Amino acid sequence: MEDIMQHSFQKHMLGWYIENWKLNKNMSTKISSPFFNFSVTLLLDTMQASTFGVEGATFGVQKPKGLVGFGDFRNGSVLRSRRVCMTKNNTNFCWLRLGSVAMETELTSSRVGLGGLLWPSVKPRSVRVMASDGKVEDTPQGKSSGTVLPYVGVACLGAILFGYHLGVVNGALEYLAKDLGIIENTVIQGWIVSTLLAGATVGSFTGGSLADKFGRTRTFQLAAIPLSIGAYLCATAQSVQPMIIGRLLAGIGIGVTSAIVPLYISEISPTEIRGALGSVNQLFICIGILLALVAGLPLAGNPIWWRTMFGIAVVPSVLLALGMAISPESPRWLFQQGRLSEAEKAIKTLYGQERVSAVMLDLTRASQGSSEPEAGWFDLFSSRYWKVVSVGAALFLFQQLAGINAVVYYSTSVFRSAGIASDVAASALVGASNVFGTAIASSLMDKQGRKSLLITSFSGMAASMLLLSLSFTWKVLAPYSGTLAVLGTVLYVLSFSLGAGPVPALLLPEIFASRIRAKAVSLSLGTHWISNFVIGLYFLSVVNKFGISSVYLGFSAVCVLAVLYIAGNVVETKGRSLEEIERALSAST
């Protein structure tokens, strides 16, 4: 009896929708209402294997295991077994056919450039309806009453601080060394650079745990405390000790934010634009580095300007804490904590009231599907997971051993040794090329693919480092050494920003299984910060012992090794589902 009633209800509901569509022969029916979307989601989810008569046409629904609901289709998810897609003018058209009636959701292309990063729309642009006569007309969907962009912007203050603290020491190091009386002590100078990275290592390992315990927004506020205090101590330091303590505290803060900025952005971003917003974190890190380099321009005329450079970082730290006080918490985290009413409120703020039911339904499904327990730390080293974990760690290791942060920290000193008159301005040019390259990479990520960009990026970095090395050793190039130093560095940073910079952070969530994702990301970021710390600590000493040419030649060799490793071990993830990626990695184990 229950089955008969359910069958009758389903048939009645389908008939109701079809009749309402047919009442509008000009196909101008609005079908984007929350009730329609949520009802069809529930209706299709309850169908198991039924056949319905619809005005002489047969509509058979066979729902296999793992088939996503209509709400997922509407929100831009992939319907592999029940969709037909066509590409036209960089727009994907996906049709879901219901007997003699077909509906098409027009989605913005996944190939999103800089404009898509800055002005993405939260909802699909339109829905098209096609009857059996073949006529098609657009029915534009209404704009969402919610928005995520202001809150993504607040989170990106953490990314700006990340880049700013990395780059601020570049132009300021020589001046603060004179002021603090350590101009001849390259070891202490190395410690001033590297204590930031030591703190970041600690922060990166603790950031995920803090975010799970206290929530994402509260963790941002906690991170703002050491960021503010650290910047203040550096700006007012009269000796080495408070400078090192300040750098350590600032490092802990950026280590925490490096873990939770991409986490928060991914959890509050709608499915339709999550990929586009994935590059925003790296873009704002580059902007932070550029701001630090530009802030160093007055140093030549004002030797104590370095204190102002460090003090400036207090302002965005305070703004981060205040901004997060009015930002919504991650709905996913609230749902996991059982705070359902707060989760609904956050969803309403981010996406609008019309999407609350659909998003809550998605969260419920996700929680029901999570049957496998979270992995422990030792599971990362098991035969099941070690290969994919090692790929993530290796990508960050190659990223650092290729010398990028040595260039970021010390490009001003290198340009000065090459005879460049405006060394700080040249470093600012390097920072600008980093921002430009990252913006270009955002539009290439889904066109060229992750693996292809990595190989191209490391190849360009190898050639650039070789050019830099030769410019310091070949006598025939001596008259052009300054120009070649700037050109080689700009090309190196541009090559880095096209792939080696943004791709690893985007690739990790794609190649790590859900049960190991948090810990595997922490391990990979830990590798990043430890290698970063070692390079920052010993770079000047190694340069003094072996010469800058030999060091750059070593960086070039590392880039070549990275190309060979990526070609043999990294799986292309463009256009693949997470399940397909995991199967591909398992098959190659």
CATH number, domain containing residue 392: 1.20.1250.20
The percentage of residues in the chain with a pLDDT greater than 70, rounded to a whole number, is 65
Asked whether residue 46 carries a pLDDT value surpassing 70, the answer given is: no
Confidence of residue 416 (pLDDT cuts 50, 70, 90): low
Confidence of residue 378 (pLDDT cuts 50, 70, 90): confident
Asked whether residue 145 carries a pLDDT value surpassing 60, the answer given is: no
Confidence of residue 52 (pLDDT cuts 50, 70, 90): very low
Rounded CA separation 560/460 (Å): 10
User: Is 116 found in the same domain as 189?
Assistant: no
Last residue of a domain, one of 293, 311, 327: 327
Q: DSSP letters along 337-399, please?
A: TT-HHHHHHHHHHHH-GGGHHHHHHHHHHHHHH--SPPPPGGGGGSTTTHHHHHHHHHHHHHH
Q: DSSP letters along 254-287, please?
A: HHHHHHHHHHHHHHHS-GGGHHHHTTHHHHHHHH
Instruction: State residue 409's pLDDT score.
Output: 64
Question: Does any domain span residue 59?
Answer: yes
Instruction: State residue 422's pLDDT score.
Output: 61
Question: In which domain, by residue range, is 184 found?
Answer: 146-327
Instruction: State residue 395's pLDDT score.
Output: 92
Q: Per the structure, how many domains does the chain have?
A: 3
Confidence of residue 587 (pLDDT cuts 50, 70, 90): low
User: Is 169 found in the same domain as 276?
Assistant: yes
Q: DSSP letters along 231-254, please?
A: HHHHHH-SSHHHHHHHHHHHHHHH
Instruction: State residue 160's pLDDT score.
Output: 96
Identify which has the larger pLDDT, 405 or 251. 251
Confidence of residue 279 (pLDDT cuts 50, 70, 90): confident
Cα atoms found within 13 Å of the Cα of residue 321, Cβ hemisphere only? 15
User: Is 163 found in the same domain as 134?
Assistant: no
Question: Does any domain span residue 224?
Answer: yes
- Residues 10-25 have pLDDT tens digits of 444 445 444 444 444 4
Rounded CA separation 531/29 (Å): 59
Rounded CA separation 95/76 (Å): 12
Last residue of a domain, one of 264, 297, 327: 327
User: Is 179 found in the same domain as 132?
Assistant: no
User: Is 174 found in the same domain as 132?
Assistant: no
Asked whether residue 185 carries a pLDDT value surpassing 60, the answer given is: yes
Query: In the numeric block, which tokens belong to residue 576?
Result: 């693949």
Mean pLDDT of 137-163: 76
Q: Which of 190-199, 278-287, 355-364, 417-426 shows the lowest mean pLDDT across its residues?
A: 417-426
Instruction: State residue 374's pLDDT score.
Output: 64
Question: Does any domain span residue 365?
Answer: no
CA-based nearest residue to 497, from 413, 443, 436: 436
User: Is 154 found in the same domain as 121?
Assistant: no
Question: Does any domain span residue 333?
Answer: no
User: Is 392 found in the same domain as 294?
Assistant: no
User: Is 392 found in the same domain as 310?
Assistant: no
Instruction: State residue 576's pLDDT score.
Output: 59
User: Is 550 found in the same domain as 430?
Assistant: yes
Mean pLDDT of 34-55: 38
Last residue of a domain, one of 101, 119, 140: 140
Confidence of residue 386 (pLDDT cuts 50, 70, 90): confident
Question: Does any domain span residue 26?
Answer: yes
Identify which has the larger pLDDT, 512 or 339. 339
CA-based nearest residue to 486, from 550, 547, 429, 554: 429
User: Is 157 found in the same domain as 84?
Assistant: no
Asked whether residue 106 carries a pLDDT value surpassing 50, the answer given is: no
Question: Does any domain span residue 349?
Answer: no
pTM confidence score: 0.65
Q: At 471, which amino acid appears?
A: S
Instruction: State residue 324's pLDDT score.
Output: 97
Question: Does any domain span residue 552?
Answer: yes
User: Is 496 found in the same domain as 536?
Assistant: yes
User: Is 198 found in the same domain as 103?
Assistant: no
Question: Does any domain span residue 159?
Answer: yes
